[in-house]
Structure 1
Amino acid sequence: MIIYPAIDLRGGRCVRLTQGDFNNQTTYEVDPTMMAEAFASAGAEWLHVIDLDGAADNGDNLRSVASIIGLTNLRVQLGGGIRTIEQIESLRALGAQRIIVGTMPIEEPDMFKEAIRRFAHFLAVAIDVRDDRVSIHGWQSESTWLIDDYVRHLEGLGVRTIIITDIGRDGMLKGPNLSLYLRMKRLTPMDIIASGGISTKQDVVSLRTLGVQGAIIGKALYEGHLALKAVL
């Protein structure tokens, strides 16, 4: 299982939201590139980067992203407001190893089918759920999809990797929704990356036992609840 330390960018700074609420933000006084370098020094090979301004349709943090990619040896999976083929192409050219889309599959299904046809090997779909219903637009809007149906739908389209976040657990440091990930592992052969609530070494062990392919850890690392070296 791959551990993905997380960097969420807003206004060029490292932040963490609680339960996806843009009004409930913690800002960390650390340069994003320096944070990425610290994760690399701890032994990380991958980095999960989300452009929250892009996700909320409020600008982007491409300068910070370019710096992280250019100054570290980390493989970066990047998401946040990526809703066109052109964006996918330009971010790949920038050096992102995996591109995350969330809203595109729901609001632009034809474009997404083209994206999967061309980029399936480095595309991941973010599935952000609140009470089993899928949210979009940076968790600000609720779609009509229920997660089980949506996962089957994506599998049928040829998606290879999904990133599942339980919004209610995100930033709460109360553990991941293990029952959700167990259900999804039984439902689909797609690679699953878990996100939301991971705060202890035991959380990571539990996810490994379930057989998920990756785990994203954010707030627990920033606030000293978990040492990255201990779970790599």
Structure 2
Amino acid sequence: MYIIPAIDILDGKVVRLREGDYSQKTVYEVSIAEMIETYRSNGTEFIHIIDLNGAKGDFSNQAELFDIIKRTDMRVQYGGGIRTIEQVTNLLDAGIHRVIVGTQAITNPDFLSDLSKEVGKKYDYANRIVVAIDVLDEVIKYSGWMESSPIKLMDYVDKCLQLGFFRFLCTDINKDGKLGGAAIDLYKKLLEHSPFIKLIASGGVSSMEDIVELSKLDVRSVVVGKAIYENRITIEEIKEWNLKALSTL
């Protein structure tokens, strides 16, 4: 299991939200470029970037953000406001390693089907699509976690699998930003239902002990943000863990 450090961007600043609430944000006095360079210089190869403005349809961060991304050799997993097939394919063609789709995949019944046809034209593009599943008490939430979907969690996973998408980023909103531990029970349910999915855990990780517990499941990677900024997990610990993870692949 690989640890992927997270950078959330709001109004051009590095932030973390609590339970996805934009009014409950912590702003960190570090620039986006500085944060990326800190991870890169400490041996991190993979980073998770979410444009929180983009998630609400405001793309004011994108010019600066993509300029920074273009200048790094790190692999980037990117999400936030991706609404069209063209956006997805343009990002993949531009070198974004993985693109996260969320709201549009839930609200537009044809989006995943159309995306499946499009990414099927190019080798390995399906492996580079991440389907975001943001969950509150096993209800799927979207649009910045403001709206609830009537689609049952496991039914949605089955639909995605049938269309050829198998990499999922699952966030338990109850856990997000609280440093109270990861959603072990939720991930167990998902993996028991669909053992072959490539699951990325997100939310609640507060310590390396949480990382160890997640590693006992067949979770492929875990996104960690606030625990790093609050010095609960050090970059050195991430480097050491990821080196061991890579050596066992």
TM range (shorter): over 0.9
What is the CA deviation profile of residues 66-121 of structure 1, one whole-angstrom value per residue up to 9, with x for unaligned ones? Answer: 13322322100100110101211232243211100001221122132121222223
Partner of 2:47: 47
2:192 is aligned, of 186, 189, 201, to 186
CA distance in 1, matches of 2:105, 2:34: 33
Q: Describe the shift of the 1:128–1:60 C-alpha distance in structure 2 as closer, same or farther (beyond 3 A).
A: farther
Query: Which residue identity lines up with residue 123 of structure 1 in the other structure?
Result: I
Is the deviation greater in 39-48 or in 12-21? 39-48
What is the CA deviation profile of residues 34-70 of structure 1, one whole-angstrom value per residue up to 9, with x for unaligned ones? Answer: 1011111222111000010010123342123213322
Partner of 1:209: 216
Partner of 2:87: 87
Partner of 2:113: 113
Q: Describe the shift of the 1:60–1:122 C-alpha distance in structure 2 as closer, same or farther (beyond 3 A).
A: farther
Partner SS for 1:229: helix
1:124 is aligned, of 130, 140, 144, to 130
Task: Please state how far the C-alpha of 1:12 moved relative to its aligned partner.
Answer: 1.0
Is the deviation greater in 105-114 or in 178-187? 105-114
CA distance in 1, matches of 2:95, 2:191: 30
Partner SS for 2:78: strand
Q: Percent identity?
A: 40
5+ unaligned residues in a row in structure 1: which ranges? Answer: none
Partner of 1:143: 149
What is the CA deviation profile of residues 154-174 of structure 1, one whole-angstrom value per residue up to 9, with x for unaligned ones? Answer: 112211200000011000001
Partner of 1:157: 163
Q: Describe the shift of the 1:95–1:28 C-alpha distance in structure 2 as closer, same or farther (beyond 3 A).
A: same
Task: Please state how far the C-alpha of 1:4 moved relative to its aligned partner.
Answer: 0.9
1:225 aligns with 2:245: no
CA contact (8 A) 1:4 1:48 kept: yes
Partner SS for 1:109: coil
CA distance in 2, matches of 1:126, 1:67: 25
What is the CA deviation profile of residues 20-42 of structure 1, one whole-angstrom value per residue up to 9, with x for unaligned ones? Answer: 00110111111101101111122
CA distance in 2, matches of 1:94, 1:28: 29
State the TM-score, normalizing by the size of structure 2. Answer: 0.89
CA distance in 1, matches of 2:118, 2:39: 31
1:134 aligns with 2:140: yes
CA distance in 2, matches of 1:214, 1:30: 25
Partner of 2:246: none
What is the CA deviation profile of residues 130-152 of structure 1, one whole-angstrom value per residue up to 9, with x for unaligned ones? Answer: 00000011212111122222212
